[in-house]
Amino acid sequence: MMDPTKYAELYAAIRTAAKMILESPLAVGMYSGSRASLEALATTDSPSYINVDLRLSGETLNTSCTLCFKWDSLNYDADVHEDGSTWRTYKTLCEVNWPSHGSCSPAVAKERMDFYAQCIELAAAIESATVRQVEICVRTPEEQKAAEEATRIRIAEQKLNRALREAADVVRKGMRVNQDRSVPMALLSGVAVGSYKFTCEDYGGKVERRFNLWVPQYGWARLTRLS
């Protein structure tokens, strides 16, 4: 979930839009599920978009107007400032849409147009009451350094696991559980002294075998099959 402390203005815009829809007379015809979703958005920090059908009911008037309130990034690549922080610019959008109908009487057409006009006015009011554009620091310099360090560790772990499996593959064929085999140190270049547990997959990943590899400072490494 996005950090609510960073996205407070956008979350507040979602809450405001949800409350304004719920308080509008146009909310009377909403489905119960839509109302429940709006009530949740009006009271919590949520990055969810609002997409709700406002409905006009009657013997011949049946129609709806979809009101959508959302926010989106204007710069997906983000901007990196001199201090190393990463920023994105977001904007909010409030949109309306309604279905096309066949021919109808002038009275029905007018009722529908009046309804659409009310939906448009509600959307415009939401636009006026909510933030339109905001620049947000999505990653501080400290968070950027932490992310880079996490990436470095992940790559190093992947490289180590690959080296361990490649060394084990040379000698492990036919090994039984609890059996030991020696591994030439030449196959473990760059692997530090220590004990390493890892898994090797066989038969396209259908069978997993667990091993422990003890790497000494001198001599031969020892591979033990654990399972």
Q: What are 78's strand-pairing partners?
A: none
The pTM assigned to this predicted structure is 0.64
Query: What per-residue confidence (pLDDT) applies to 120?
Result: 95
pLDDT digits (tens, 9 = 90+) for 170-186: 999 999 999 999 999 99
Q: Does 38 share its domain with 126?
A: yes
Q: Does 111 share its domain with 165?
A: no
Q: Does 103 share its domain with 129?
A: yes
Q: Does 76 share its domain with 188?
A: no
pLDDT band at 213 (very low <50, low <70, confident <90, very high): very high
194 falls within a domain: yes
Check: CB of residue 226 under 8 Å from CB of residue 211.
yes
Cα separation, 16 vs 22, in Å, equals 10
Say which range, 37-41, 50-54, 59-63, 114-118, has the weakest mean pLDDT.
Answer: 59-63
> For the residues 33-59, what does the mean pLDDT come to?
84
The structural domain count of the chain equals 2
pLDDT digits (tens, 9 = 90+) for 88-144: 898 899 999 998 888 989 999 999 999 999 999 999 999 999 988 888 888 889 988
Helical (H) or strand (E) element with 176: none
pLDDT of 59 above 70 = no
105 falls within a domain: yes
Show which of 78, 104, 139 is a domain's final residue: 139
pLDDT band at 18 (very low <50, low <70, confident <90, very high): very high
**Which residue, among 121, 28, 101, 116, has the nearest Cα to 60 in the 3D structure?**
101
168 falls within a domain: yes
DSSP of 12-61: HHHHHHHHHHHHSGGGGG--HHHHHHHHHHTTS---PPEEEEEEE-STTT
**Which residue, among 7, 119, 13, has the nearest Cα to 69 in the 3D structure?**
13
Domain encompassing residue 133: 8-139
pLDDT band at 83 (very low <50, low <70, confident <90, very high): confident
- Mean pLDDT over the full length of the chain: 89
pLDDT digits (tens, 9 = 90+) for 109-122: 999 999 999 999 99
Handedness of CA 152, 158, 161, 165 (dihedral sign): negative
- Cα-trace Rg, the chain: 31
CB count within 10 Å of CB 71 equals 21
